Structure 1
Amino acid sequence: MAQTRIQSFSEFFVFYLGEHRNATCRALHFVGTGGFLTVFAAALITDPLRFGPALAGMLALGAVGANIENRRSAAPFLLGMIALGTWAQPMILAGVVWAYAFAWIGHFKLEHNKPATFTYPMWSLLGDFRMWGLMATGKLWTGDPVEAFTARES
């Protein structure tokens, strides 16, 4: 029997936060995503004429992928985004490897769970960026992230 998929990003994000209850795991995600965002900014600054159009293509692939994630895995779209970014600026691949290395250490060594990116790759990427933003603004560093987030949202 087919597994029922989560139907919305809002519902997924609460699930995603639940997969990141360990504060050290969240800190590892913060370092990994921060490193990726630094590489991403450097790629855009150093070669905007090449990376800019690639970014437009990456955003288009991401939008399509995010819209189908409730029906099936958007892994091909995420891989397409990585390939397009790497084609335009090879250092993007290093940023991706950096981010996933930190995240997966957190999941396999601290959370002892399977990263959500294996089932919901596009929403996982969006969730990671959203979680990073919440942490960058001083939220979600301590305590239960689900409780902190749901208390904020209600």
Structure 2
Amino acid sequence: MEPKRYSSFAEFYPFYLSQHQDPVCRRLHYIGSSIILVIIINTLINQHWWQLLWLPVVSYGFAWLGHFIFEKNRPATFTYPLYSLWADWVMFGQMIRRLWRK
């Protein structure tokens, strides 16, 4: 069966959120995204460019643990890599905004 094709990010994002209902899965995404930011900042400060090799390991590692163990679904990044990357950061930004409001 051919996966649904989304014509815009706005159309894709509700699907993305539906694939992240488990709170542990979302937390693992947030942890991975936070570590990504730390790695990037540290790399820019120290100019140890080899550290960037950790980016896919950290980002996919935390996210895939969440999907395969807790959410029990197939990560959207397999079918929609660019929309999924964008959606990860939108979801992360929404989480940060919620934390600031508390």
Q: TM-score category by the smaller chain?
A: 0.7 to 0.9
Q: How far apart in 2 are the matches of 1:31 and 1:124? A: 16
Corresponding residue for residue 26 of structure 1? 26
RMSD: 1.8
Residue 11 of structure 1: how far off its partner (Å)? 1.0
Q: How far apart in 1 are the matches of 2:3 and 2:26? A: 27
Q: How far apart in 1 are the matches of 2:19 and 2:4? A: 18
Corresponding residue for residue 106 of structure 1? 66
Residue 136 of structure 1: how far off its partner (Å)? 1.4
Corresponding residue for residue 72 of structure 1? none
**Larger of the two Rg values belongs to structure:** 1
The number of equivalent residue pairs is 99
Q: Which amino acid aligns with 2:93?
A: G
Please give the TM-score of this superposition, normalised by the length of structure 1.
Answer: 0.59
Please list every run of 5 or more consecutive structure 2 residues that lacks an aligned counterpart in the other structure.
none
Secondary structure (helix, strand or coil) at the match of 1:42 reads: helix
Please list every run of 5 or more consecutive structure 1 residues that lacks an aligned counterpart in the other structure.
48-87, 140-154
Q: Deviations over 1:20-51 (max 9, x none)?
A: 0111110010001110111011222223xxxx
Q: Deviations over 1:39-92 (max 9, x none)?
A: 011222223xxxxxxxxxxxxxxxxxxxxxxxxxxxxxxxxxxxxxxxx82211
Q: Deviations over 1:8-27 (max 9, x none)?
A: 01111111111001111100
Please give the TM-score of this superposition, normalised by the length of structure 2.
Answer: 0.87
State the identity as a percent: 42
Q: How far apart in 2 are the matches of 1:27 and 1:97? A: 17
Q: Are 1:15 and 2:20 matched, yes or no?
A: no
